[in-house]
Amino acid sequence: MRAYPERANLAVPGVYYPTQPFAMNVLLTGANGFLGSHIARQLIDRGYTVRALLRPNSPTPTLHDLPIVPVAGDLRDRASVIRAADDCQYIIHAGALASVNPARNQTVWDINLAGTENVLRAAHLTGVERLVYVGTANVFGFGTKTNPGNENSPYVGTRYGLDYMDSKEAATRRVMQSGVPAVGVHPTFMLGSMDHKPTSGALLLGLYKRQVAGTPVGGKNYVHVADVATATVNALTKGRVGEQYILGNQNLSYAEAFALMAEVMECRPPSVTIPKGVAWVAGQLSQLQATITRKPARLNPAMVAVANDGHYFDVQKAVRELELPQTPVQEAIRDAFDWFRANGYV
């Protein structure tokens, strides 16, 4: 095994550097993200050495004092990805840009598809034992509560015109067709601690601060982020190469989810249900505002269309084959809200 490169020019403030590598090195992209922060801890707890690809000067509040090996780089820079993967037996590719506003955004493609292609090239060159690719459940067709979508349901997200969904679907196909020994894991809507940006947790904060005007008629599947991290790390040694797994838990309408969130946070849910037609008009007006001001509005028509649909999924394949835990969604909400409160978000 080759020695680690000189770390003086790779330092990330506040991150602890181990002096000796362990036997099994894992390159983790997106390590300082919401899910990545949980994956990093899971890997460390199981005895892996975590090599984290981090953009220079990127914030790392949730990685503070973790024994990781940071490598400065960018998913869009193939050379830095290859350098980061050197001597790694595994790669977990959790890095992505999950931006949906504006709906069309070339940077989303540059990171989500071109970045994934760079990771695949690094995997080919280093001969990793397994690549775990973190996608999104939205690359599969959704269903109803009584007949939810699964890993065999064909992609229907093109109807929304969202570069995020389209780029992740394209990247998923590229991974599965690459010849790299890969497993795809596809989370639903994650909640939990350490959402420092925040991302999905912004919904909780908006509800608590009475900033959500009403309840959409659609719904989605919710899951604890720590459960997703557990199944993702499990996928290094469990599951089947070439297979894909939806990582989720409970299907809830927005009305059900908002009521549950409000109960846990001890606040009031929105009292108004927004009909599809009214939501559509709001999306169009928001798009007009964005066109006039040349700045993204709070909504766009694609976001409204997604909220009007029920994105319900069957997660039993991951429960069986990846031992995906099923922590109650109430606990995910509680963990998220407690973390936000402890860190000054509320």
Contact by Cβ (8 Å): 133, 185: yes
> Where do the H-state alpha helices sit in 87-161?
106-109, 115-126
Specify the length of the chain in residues.
346
Q: Decide if 149 contacts 313 (C-beta within 8 A).
A: yes
Return the DSSP state at 313. B
What pLDDT digit, counting tens, does each position of 225-261 carry?
999 999 999 999 999 999 999 999 999 999 999 999 9
- DSSP-based three-state secondary structure for 132: strand
Q: Does domain 8-340 have CATH number 3.40.718.10?
A: no
The pTM of the whole model exceeds 0.85: yes
Asked whether 200 and 191 are in contact (CB, 8 A), the reply is yes
Residues 196-227 have pLDDT tens digits of 999 999 999 999 999 998 999 999 999 999 99
Confidence of residue 23 (pLDDT cuts 50, 70, 90): low
